[in-house]
Amino acid sequence: MLDMLEGRLRWKRTPDGIIVSIPPRHGTLTILYGPLVGACLLAAAIYYWHALTTPHPEDTEHTLQLVAIGIYVLGFCFAVCWLIWAFTNETVLILNRNEMKIQRRVLGVELATRSFPNRQIRNFRFVPPTKTWASRDADDPKTGRIQFQVGSNTQIFGEGVSAAESDALFAQMQTVYRFPGYLGLSHQRIVI
């Protein structure tokens, strides 16, 4: 069982480190779009079920309906996969004294893992949210993230984290391993 760390973040201590779960931040459009897609898929399924179960002559119109059903099935599979991804994906950070792993999971199944030796990681920092076309004059909370350097590469994880969540995460990470080049817990945006 994971305990509350801050905001959406959940964590637990392991014998040699920590595990932190970072669930997705759902935007308003995701919450509205999901049920809308589900309703459209249900309506189309009822229509095509009716089209397949009623008697029909073998003609061009029926062939086109079968093509439309095939396209519908592909769209249905895509929409179901999108809904599963949107509502069940999470990032899991596994940190011990020697390495840090960042996993992407959907429905609890590991899809991808990136591993980094702790001694090569530097310059952890929180990147505050920015404005997007959808958020107009306000910052879009889904654009906040954490980034760090490994060699000459910049790595990103924790999309959608807030400043408070990143502060709590950094504080827990520092109890396991003191990362070099740690930029501290201040994330004030400078306005010129």
User: pLDDT digits over 1-56, tens only?
Assistant: 678 888 889 999 999 999 999 998 776 666 777 778 778 878 888 887 777 777 76
The pLDDT of residue 28 is: 66
Token representation of residue 186? 């201040």
The pLDDT of residue 128 is: 86
Delimit the domains of the chain by residue range.
1-192
Low-confidence ranges of the chain (pLDDT < 70): 1, 27-30, 56-57, 133-136, 181-192
The pLDDT of residue 184 is: 53
The pLDDT of residue 29 is: 67
The pLDDT of residue 1 is: 67
Pick the CATH number of 1-192 from 1.10.540, 1.10.357, 3.40.1130, 2.30.29: 2.30.29
The pLDDT of residue 117 is: 94
